Amino acid sequence: MKYVLVLDVAKGKSMFLLSSSVGEILFGPIELIHNLHNFQFIDSKINDLDIKNDLTVVMEATNIYHKAPERFFLENNYHTIVFNPIITKKSSYNLRKTKTDKEDCLKLANLFFKGDIPINYYNHPDIFVRLNELSRQYFHLNDSLNRHKNRFKDLLHLCFPEFDLCFKDSKIFELTALNFIREFPHADFIKDKRIDALAYNMANTNGRHINYYKRKAIKIKDLAKLSFPGVPKDSNNVQNLQQIVDIIISITNEKLSVESNLIALAKQTAFFDNIVSIFGIGDLSASLIIAELKDISRFSNIKQLTAFCGLDPTIVQSGKSINFHGPISKRGNKYARRLLFNCSRNIISLSAKLNRDNPLFLYYLKKKQEGKHYYACLTACSTKLIRIIFALCKDNSNAL
């Protein structure tokens, strides 16, 4: 006889149900908080019944909340399955729309014994788990950095709107510009300063000679004399600007540290050389792709990998009309999808200048000639790129 322990996972707690293949409820449904005492309590119940060898632990992947019970049961040698909630969603329709935690446990148990839940659980090697942890930290820091940079631009426009004329585009976020505006966060502070003092601040940041920055210092001071900021120099926004500069510098340093660790770890995998050989993909992009796709060899065909990334087309039917090439599902890994989109854009941009025979660039031109929108072309190129990556990793070969 087979048994299943079902967990309906929520934040910090789960509803537990132990059932047999003949429908007998051996334990629960009972709600327990995620802690060591309760996990050991469940473990002792199963050991008392002596059914561990015939038992499968089943739970949905629920953000990060399933991680604690998953870790406990895996470390205690239980056959554990964590599956995609989409499987439950597809099978849970009913006219009355009854949904309670106890009902959900019973539904999961029925799905398992009907064979609708995959019985094989792929446990990723530790290196891919660590890479994914670094990747998610990288994306978090990058998104946070972008928000603070936007805030920095707003405050800078209030305190010294002409400053971006001296440090154009991304140079305004370089350490030289950030250190300068941290010391002189308002145009009125610059008007009375000597040119040597302004130049020394910039030279001291990167070790250049002071004469190198004198011309820029003169330009900054001339602009400051003409400037009329939106706030006075004693405004709270002046201190806010200094705080944002400190935050940007701190996050940038943390991001660089994560990048170096990510690349060093990704180089130890079998797929790094395959992916980095693609024209337009550098060490960081290749490392992030590996971190999000993890062990690519676990996918038996390209359709599985495409669906994992949420790049598979949806099928739309209305009457006799069927569109097999609808918009992408966007149900998969959003980080992988974003990576592939950005990599495709970089490859196309570089190919237009340096390598116009690149297959991805030629494919992009073909889609443009078909009259597709720019973003639709890039999405199609993302799908082609994932096919290239899959083929290279499966064959353990490098791009020409």
Q: Which two tokens stand for residue 216?
A: 């820029």
For the chain, how long is the longest CA-to-CA vector?
87
Is the pLDDT at 95 greater than 50? The verdict is no
| Distance between CA atoms of residues 231 and 213, nearest Å | 28
Whole-model pTM: value is 0.85
User: Residue 267's pLDDT is what?
Assistant: 96
Confidence of residue 189 (pLDDT cuts 50, 70, 90): very high
Lowest mean pLDDT among 51-60, 325-334, 367-376: 325-334
DSSP 336-356: HHHHHHHHHHHHHHHHHHH-T
Instruction: Please report, as a single letter, which amino acid is at residue 254.
Output: E
Among 41-55, 113-127, 170-184, 329-343, which is the least confidently predicted range?
Answer: 113-127
pLDDT score of 53 more than 80: yes
> Which residue type does 173 have?
F
The H-assigned helical ranges of 324-399 are 334-354, 359-369, 374-395
Strands of the 55-60 sheet, one edge to the other: 25-33, 13-20, 3-10, 55-60, 79-83
pLDDT one-digit tens code per residue, 123-151: 778 899 999 999 999 999 999 999 999 99
Bridge partner list, 19: 4, 25
DSSP helix/strand/coil, 109: helix
Contact 183, 160 (CB under 8 A): no
pLDDT at position 206 is: 82
| Residue whose pair of structure tokens reads 């290279």 in the numeric block | 392
% of the chain at pLDDT higher than 70: 92
For residue 180 the two structure tokens come to 């300068």
Q: Could you tell me where the DSSP H helices lie in 165-213?
A: 175-183, 187-191, 195-206
pLDDT at 61: 86
Domains and their CATH numbers in the chain = 3-114 (3.30.420), 130-263 (1.10.287.4070), 273-395 (no CATH)
Average pLDDT over residues 235-253: 96
DSSP labels, 25-83:
EEEEEEEEESSHHHHHHHHHHHHHHT-GGGEEEEEE--TTTTHHHHHHHHHTT-EEEEE
What residue has token string 């953000």?
63
Residue range 254-269, pLDDT digits in tens: 999 999 999 999 999 9
Residue 1 corresponds to which amino acid? M
pLDDT at 112: 84
Residue length, the chain? Answer: 400
Res. 322: pLDDT tops 70 = no
Between 94 and 365, residue with greater pLDDT: 365
Beta bridge partners of 31: 15
Quick one: pLDDT at residue 101?
Answer: 66
Alpha carbon of residue 9 to chain centroid: 23
